[in-house]
Amino acid sequence: MANFNLKDRVIECKIVYYGPGRGGKTTNLQYIHKAFKKQTTGEMVSINTKGDRTLFFDFLPLGLGKIKGCEIKVQLYTVPGQVRYSSTRKMVLKGVDGVVFVADSLSVRRKENMLSLKDLQQNLAEQKKSIFKIPLVLQYNKRDLAKESIPLLSVKLMERELNRKLKIPSFPASALKGTGVGATLQECLKLTLQHLQRELKWAG
Amino acid sequence: MKSLVKEAELYRTQGLLEESKERYLEVLQLIEKNQRFQNNKKAINVIKDRIVGLEKDLAEIDQETEAPELSGKVQDLIKNLFSFSQNKDAAEMEGAVALARFGQYERALAEFNRLLDKGTLPLIAAKNVLRCHLALSSTDAAIDQFRKWLSGELLSKKQLRDIRSFLEYVLKRKGIQTKLPEVVGGTSQRPKEAGSEGGFLDVCSVTIRLESGPCKGSTKELDVTFQSGNVISLIISAKDKDLVDSFVPGIRLRGVHFFSSICVFRANGIVSEWTSIKTGPRRGDYVLSITIDRSDKLDIL
Ligand SMILES: Nc1nc2c(ncn2[C@@H]2O[C@H](COP(=O)(O)OP(=O)(O)OP(=O)(O)O)[C@@H](O)[C@H]2O)c(=O)[nH]1
Ligand SMILES: [Mg+2]
């Protein structure tokens, strides 16, 4: 439900970072806030609970400048990953244009990744959106921990379990170090803007 | 074993407390089995301390007091970010409901009053004003407010009658016996339709038959404190531990009876969330949200 102001030629779109609790969604946004200072157009807002878990959402506004004669504004959100905040997740997901799914590479979070992806599919369906059609990219986060000899899921296994049916772009990453964060966001923005171009027939 | 400890520590710093506890328990088992370590009381105690600490953190998270009072700036942001409708009136109402949904009752109350004053969706605004008073646990304030409306010009007789029956019903369900002042003048017919919430009837209370958990097989009657479209919220006392444990997020509730001020209907619902209240007289109690299934056929009884 991107907001397209035809008169001023401004497009405002909404990208949501989704994924299991503690997977690194907030860390992604924190890195973007730091590394893309020039593009951020306002403060990052985080509403947290104990131990930095997201309670309601994180919010970061970006401005991408003009693309094909249109001013592009982007709102980045994260949802709370903890299972119990289901209705908040639905609320934050409302009107979403593109999704980054942050999967946790830790072996101990294998099941949680799959459950969260399923939860995303259901919540999109409630908005009459299909997980197969919405602009969506996958991120396999915390790859830096391979060096620390902590048990990780292999990228191959994660591809098989999470991306076999979706067949979408995926990125190994370390949100903590910043590796892969920019690439993930850029791909999601590319897909989202292409999708909006088709839908809004902007820049025909 | 060293690598197990390392894992356990990492999970702990990442907030994966269950996973961390499991690893520490494994470590403990290993130590207790192994001759070499058995007498190492110090190591055993360190691990045990860690486990106790994790259990404490887990328990704290479990009964976390949510819904913090947010700054005015953040409240403004919520109001703006969570209003989607193209229609300006509906969008403003959505923003105010979002504040209530995020537990910002005082601010939501101010918003609903503002909307009512300028005549935006007055019936919905007025009922939400009453709901906010009731969520803040001030029944008297709700009744006073109704009295004020009666003597003012803000609402039509027809609307006042609708609101009166809504308030009367809610109070009755709370076990409060008060004679609300009558609405005099205008036509005395009963309102034909209930005020609707985005196409949904106002729900005052529900009865739910529990099919699992500690209260399995019993039927519970609960009051609705808040509603936004097809999502209703109920407050459950922290003392009612069994009831709190019965509503696991995600469980389906079949054949729930929804009582509105003018009719009863039956539909399925899903427990979508619970949070606990941080401030005010209901501090420590829980707010439970149930999403009424729109796809199910509503059986008006
Ligand atoms: N080693 C490592 N740790 C990470 C990485 N990304 C996140 N973390 C850590 O994982 C923990 C959780 O990160 P968050 O960004 O808060 O996770 P979240 O997905 O926002 O969690 P919720 O808000 O509960 O849904 C924190 O301790 C982070 O420092 C990463 O790439 N590598
Ligand atoms: Mg977070």
The total number of structural domains that make up chain B: 3
Task: Report the C-alpha gap between B170 and B130 in whole angstroms.
Answer: 10
Average pLDDT over residues A126-138: 94
| pLDDT given at position B210 | 83
**Residue A6 C-alpha from the chain's centroid:** 27
Contact B267, B258 (CB under 8 A): yes
Q: What pLDDT, on a 0 to 100 scale, did the predictor assign at position A117?
A: 97
Residues B287 and B208 in one domain: yes
Read off the pLDDT of each residue in A99-125 and give the average, rounded to a whole number: 96
The pLDDT assigned to B262 comes to 55
Alpha helices, H only, A7-109: 25-35, 86-93
Residue range(s) defining the domain that contains residue B140? 72-196
- Any A CB within 8 A of B74 CB: yes
* Rg of chain A over all Cα atoms, to the nearest angstrom: 16
Q: How many CB atoms lie within 10 A of CB A64?
A: 17
Please answer yes or no on whether A149 and B231 come within 8 Å at the CB atom: no
| Chain B residues with CB-CB distance to A53 below 8 A | 15, 61
Q: Which of residues 225-264 of B touch A (CB under 8 A)?
A: 231, 249-250
Do B138 and B166 share a structural domain? Answer: yes
pLDDT in tens, A36-51: 999 999 999 999 887 7
How far CA A126 is from CA of A94, A112, B184, B291, in Å, comes to 10, 21, 44, 11
Is A80's pLDDT higher than 90? Answer: yes
Calpha distance B256→B251 (Å, rounded) = 13
Q: Which residue of B has its CA nearest to A106?
A: B11
Cβ of A86: how many Cβ atoms within 10 Å? Answer: 23
Last residue of a domain, one of B196, B212, B227: B196
Given CB atoms, is A50 within the 8 Å cutoff of chain B?
Answer: yes
CATH code of A3-200, in short, is 3.40.50.300
**In a 3-state reduction of DSSP, which class is residue A72?**
strand
Assess A147–B contact: CB distance below 8 Å, yes or no: no
**CA–CA separation, B255 and B268 (whole Å):** 5
User: Are residue B10 and residue B89 in the same domain, yes or no?
Assistant: no
**pLDDT in the model for residue A201:** 74
Q: Are residues B181 and B233 in the same domain?
A: no
Side-chain half-sphere CA neighbours of B278 within 13 A = 13
B45 shares contact with chain A (CB less than 8 Å): no
Q: What are residue A70's phi and psi, to 5 degrees?
A: -125, 135
CB contact at 8 A, B40 and A184: no
Residues 6+ apart with CB under 8 A from B236: B222, B243, B244, B247, B274, B285, B286, B287, B288
pLDDT for B299: 47
Residues B16 and B98 both lie in one domain: no
Ligand 1 pocket member A64 (CB < 6 A): no
Cβ distance A149 to B6 less than 8 Å, yes or no, reads: yes
Same domain, B121 and B173: yes
Which pLDDT score is estimated for B232? 86
CATH of the domain at B135: 1.25.40
**Residue B208: which CATH number?**
2.40.10.220
Asked whether residue B90 falls in the same domain as residue B35, the answer is: no
Picking from A1, A52, A57, A91 by the largest number of B CB atoms within 10 A of its own CB, the best residue to mutate is A91
Q: Is B139 helix (H, G, I), strand (E, B) or coil?
A: helix
- pLDDT value of residue B257: 79
- Which ligand lies nearest the alpha carbon of A80? 1
Separation of alpha carbons A124 and A22, rounded Å: 22
Tokens of B252: 């389906």
Per-residue pLDDT of chain B (301 residues; tens, 9 = 90+): 789 999 999 999 999 999 999 999 999 998 888 777 667 788 889 899 999 999 999 988 877 665 788 999 999 999 999 888 777 888 898 899 889 888 899 999 999 999 999 988 888 899 999 989 988 878 899 999 999 999 988 898 888 998 998 898 888 877 888 888 888 876 544 443 444 444 566 777 788 888 888 888 887 888 887 777 788 888 888 888 788 788 877 788 887 877 765 556 778 888 887 777 776 667 778 888 888 876 444 444 3
Q: Are residues B284 and B208 in the same domain?
A: yes
The closest of B260, B265, B183 to B227, measured between CA atoms, is B260
Instruction: Please say which residue of B63, B82, B116 terminates a domain.
Output: B63
pLDDT in the model for residue B48: 93
pLDDT of residue B217: 80
Question: What integer pLDDT is reported at residue B35 of this predicted model?
Answer: 75
What residue type is A203 in one-letter code? A
- Looking at chain B, the number of H-run helices and the number of E-run strands are 11, 9
Do B167 and B230 belong to one domain?
A: no
